Chain A
Amino acid sequence: MTDANGHNEDDIALAGEYVLGLLPADERRAFEARLRDEPRLRVLVVEWDERFAALADEAGEVAPPPALEARIERRLFGARRRRIPWIGATLGGLIAAAAIVALVFFAPVGPADPSHRAEVASEDAELRLAAALVEATGEMQVERLAGAARPGRALELWFIPEGEAPVSLGVLPEAEDYTVTLPEPLRDRLAGAVLAVSDEPPGGSPTGAPTGDVLATGALDTVG
């Protein structure tokens, strides 16, 4: 049996099984050998990939922990990325360096003016966090004022857009003060958003949604 495009049913099903990763090893190798010579079969594979990719929506979006991007860049590029590549060994560089010195001396201490702040606290106030967000860059400084994870457990920070499911901002590090970057798609959803901290297994929620108790919450309010 062949369809309008001249594909036979066996090949259509085989290509689908191949894309789904279902073929036994020997059949997979035989299929790959044919793929090299049969462009028509490759078209079937691309078609199935395109169609199934739409299903990936079901997996939902989960922000990876903020430190992951730096880990990837270290793996690829070695040392940490230079943040101020425009300082060269030129006269211009000297002027720029002078400007930075001026900035360091005259800029107010702390992050650029935050646009939003949140006090995230448990009911008994044993766990308390303060967060300050700069909307334009998504940089959010998080300070742990009180509390820690239970032994063998972790604390995970969540961003909850109004009326939507929580999005993970990663596990709280041991440090009392750290900065996380709010992913770009979330920066449009600050109005009515809430920050929350949940109790999770080490490494954080395995499902992408909070699995343990929500220990503390706090609304993200605009400053001023």
Chain B
Amino acid sequence: MTTRAEIEDLIARIKLRDRDAFSALYSATSAKLFGVCLRVLKNRAEAEEALQDVYVRIWKRADAYSANGYSPMTWLITLARNIAIDRLRARKAPAEDIDSVPDLAASTPTPEAEAVAASDRRRIDACLDELDPERADAVRGAYLDGESYRDLAARHDVPLNTMRTWLRRSLLRLRDCLSR
């Protein structure tokens, strides 16, 4: 297992154009990031393309990392997920009203961001468990499968606006729970 400090160190070296560090980061993280791409895209060939884009972006944008307040694995996971979702949306009907997913926010590290870096899987799972199962499922679907409001509304057979109201309420309850 590679620790947070080790991954931070590798990213710092990649910033200095160290190819060995790049290769080491690939060994340590590619299975995790490929898992994320595959989960979103559900297609091996596309996930492989997405993963290539992810590591190309890591090499080119490593200098953006230290300034943005993310823990290193979150930065990598968010990058992989966003690239995979962009690809997913590009594949779907061009009439989709959501054209892209966000770039990573750029901000200076804050005590709040540092504190949440310690939050783990159990915490978010426990808080999702406090939601109605269908709503927790919608949040997971949006994050892990890149589902849009339209996808979610269709899957749960509710009007789009109802889905949005549900989801926004779920987010607020989730945050309440997570900040407890």
Within 8 Å CB of A208, what residues of B?
35, 38-39
Roughly how many angstroms separate A12 CA and B178 CA in the complex, as a whole number?
Answer: 13
Residue ID in chain A nearest B111 by CB atoms: A43
- The docked-state distance in angstroms from the alpha carbon of A75 to that of B42 is 24
Return the CB mask of B1-27 against A: 1 if under 8 Å, else 0. 100000000000000000100010011
Residues of B within 8 A of A19 (CB): 102
Chain B residues bordering chain A, tally (CB within 8 A): 75
Is the Cβ of B144 less than 8 Å from the Cβ of A50? no
Q: Is the CB of A64 within 8 A of B121?
A: no
A-side interface mostly: helix
Flag if B171 contacts A49 (CB, 8 Å). no
Contact among B42, B43, B71, B107 with A50 in the assembled complex (CB-CB below 8 Å): B71
Of chain A, the residue at the smallest CB distance from B85 is A21
**A42 at interface (Cβ–Cβ under 8 A)?**
yes
Nearest Cβ distance between residue A59 and chain B, in whole angstroms?
4
Q: Is the CB of A51 within 8 A of B178?
A: yes
A62 touches B99 (CB 8 A): no
Chain B residues near A69 (CB, 8 Å)?
A: 23, 26, 30
Quick one: which of A42, A75, A204 has the most chain B CB within 10 A? A42
Kindly state whether residue B116 has any CB partner on chain A within 8 Å. yes
Q: Tell me which residues across on chain B come within 8 A of A4, comparing CB atoms.
A: 179
**Is B154 part of the binding interface, using a Cβ–Cβ cutoff of 8 Å?**
no
Query: A18 contacts which chain B residues (CB < 8 A)?
Result: 102
- CB contacts (< 8 Å) of A77 on chain B: these are 19
Contact: A72 with B148, CB < 8 Å? no
Residues of chain B within 8 A (CB-CB) of A178 are none
Measured between beta carbons, the chain B residues less than 8 angstroms from A114 are: none
Question: With A72-B52, A167-B31 in contact, is A185–B1 under 8 Å at CB?
Answer: yes
Q: Categorize the interface residue count of chain A.
A: 35 or more
Nearest-neighbor residue (CB-CB) of B104 within chain A: A49
The CA of A113 and the CA of B165, in the complex, are separated in Å by 62
A28-B98, A59-B144 given; A68·B48 CB < 8 A:
yes
The listed residue (A5, A56, A76) touching B32 by CB distance below 8 A is A56
1/0 per residue, CB under 8 A from B, across A11-49: the answer is 011001111111111001000100100010011011101
| Chain A: minimal CB distance from B143 (Å) | 5
| Known contacts A20-B143, A69-B26, A205-B44, A53 near B52 by CB under 8 Å | no
- Residue A212 interfacial (CB < 8 Å): no
Q: Once the chains bind, are B31 and A49 in contact (CB under 8 Å)?
A: no
* A77, closest chain B residue (CB): B19
Bound CA span A60–B89, Å: 22
Whether the Cβ atoms of B78 and A53 lie closer than 8 Å is yes
* Contact of A22 with B70 in the complex, beta carbons under 8 Å: no
Asked if A46 contacts B70 (CB within 8 A), the reply is: yes
**A213 in the interface, Cβ–Cβ < 8 Å?**
no
Could you tell me the distance between the alpha carbons of A26 and B44 in the complex, rounded to whole angstroms?
32
B42 engages A207 (CB within 8 Å): yes
Q: B98 contacts A43, CB within 8 Å?
A: no
Q: List residues of chain B with CB within 8 A of the CB of A64.
A: 30-31, 34, 48, 51
Question: Are B112 and A5 touching (Cβ within 8 A)?
Answer: yes
Residue A104 interfacial (CB < 8 Å): no
Spell out A's residues near B (CB within 8 Å): 3-5, 9, 12-13, 16-25, 28, 32, 35, 39, 42-43, 45-47, 49-65, 68-69, 71-73, 75-77, 81, 167, 183-185, 203-208
Those 4 A-B pairs whose CB atoms lie nearest each other, nearest first: A59-B39, A42-B107, A21-B101, A16-B171
